[in-house]
Amino acid sequence: PQGSLTDLPKALDERFGELGLGEGWVAARERERAEGMVERLAAYIQKRESDGVTEVQVEAPVNQRVGDAVIRGSMDRVERGPSGTRIVDLKTGGTAVSKEKALTHAQLGIYQLAAQEAAAEGEASDGAELVYVGGSTQAPSERFQPPLEEGGGWARELLDDTVAVMRGSAFMAVLNETCRHCPVKTSCP
């Protein structure tokens, strides 16, 4: 939950061997990549601490009924600060989504919806954020999503639409950015 540029590399030293990469160029490349991620994570943590974050939960479990759906998973970080509670998803990939796409990022929106449903009366939301620690940038790339409107807005609509599709007897094939990786691409209409 916390960690400085001194602490986090020590933790990496202690646990890197658990990845089972052995010796050689692959392990050396992954170690270098991990060191970069640790540096960017330490920078992010330092920034958030200076923003006034006082409490952090890591791998916070989610098991929340929202309408006819149950949202289950774990949130990488739940940070509490002067502006309220912020949900943070750490990303190790090298390419960040655009700031515009982050505004309606489904994973963040659904986690915010679950948190909104479970929130105590008067508990403020500080939105959600994707924090990209992978890649080759000096600092982490951050993509903010504002707090959902009361009732969940677009995220509630997305969840309700998904529930309706999952209850249906047929699924519509829809072109999207994951089509190129789809194992049934050749049989898709």
Q: pLDDT tens for residues 76-100?
A: 999 999 999 999 999 999 899 999 9
> Would you say the pTM of this structure is higher than 0.85?
yes
Q: pLDDT tens for residues 147-182?
A: 999 889 999 999 999 999 999 998 888 888 888 888
b or e along 47-84 (b: 16 or more beta carbons within 10 Å of the residue's beta carbon)? Answer: ebeeeebeebeeeeebebebeebebeeebbbbbbbeee
